[in-house]
Amino acid sequence: MRKTSRFPVVLAAAALAAAAGLATAAPAGAQTAQVLQVTQTSTVYAWIDGWGGGTVTSSPAGISCHTTAWDPYSSEEPPANSTGPCSASFPVGTTVTFTATPDPGSGVNGGPDPASLTVRSGYNAVWAMFCPTDGLCSAG
């Protein structure tokens, strides 16, 4: 009867196991690769119209846009443009909810429109109109 040695088979199996271990182990001093997550943002703009005063705010926070009431029939100059942050950047996909709060003596005559929006790349805007409670303006 002929004798065969198992030594070459065992040696080959050990070599394959060692090679597999090397393929999965990181070299000494090597750093693992980090995946950089980039979040795309887009700007949302708040536009306020009318002769009344009030503030449009956003949730999440970022927009707190205020305008001051004025009488277009008086000799006074109109107030400066809206104050406060009237635009803000949010991550694309974020749902932003808006609230329009009139100043004393004014009311909300339109908006905020839309009341909430999902931020997308490109143009994003909300609009609101404030009018004096004495009826000096109307939406439309």
Whether the Cβ atoms of residue 48 and residue 54 lie closer than 8 Å to each other: yes
Q: What is the pLDDT of residues 72-82, one digit of tens each?
A: 888 888 777 78
Q: What is the pLDDT of residues 21-36, one digit of tens each?
A: 545 555 555 566 666 6
Model confidence pTM above 0.95: no
Q: What is the pLDDT of residues 102-134, one digit of tens each?
A: 999 999 999 999 999 999 999 999 999 999 988
Give the confidence band of 137 by pLDDT, cuts at 50, 70, 90: confident
28 vs 100, more confident: 100
- φ, ψ dihedrals at 49, nearest 5°: -130, 170
Q: Inform me whether the pLDDT recorded for 15 exceeds 80.
A: no
The confidence score (pLDDT) of residue 78 equals 78
Report the C-alpha gap between 88 and 41 in whole angstroms. Answer: 10
Report the C-alpha gap between 113 and 124 in whole angstroms. Answer: 11
Q: What's the mean per-residue pLDDT of the chain? A: 81
DSSP 39-104: --EEEEEEEEESSS-EEEEEESS--EEEE----TTSSSPPPPSPBS--EEEEETT-EEEEEEEEPT
Q: Inform me whether the pLDDT recorded for 10 exceeds 60.
A: no
The confidence score (pLDDT) of residue 53 equals 94
Q: Inform me whether the pLDDT recorded for 14 exceeds 90.
A: no
Whether the Cβ atoms of residue 96 and residue 54 lie closer than 8 Å to each other: no
Q: What is the mean pLDDT of residues 41-59?
A: 95
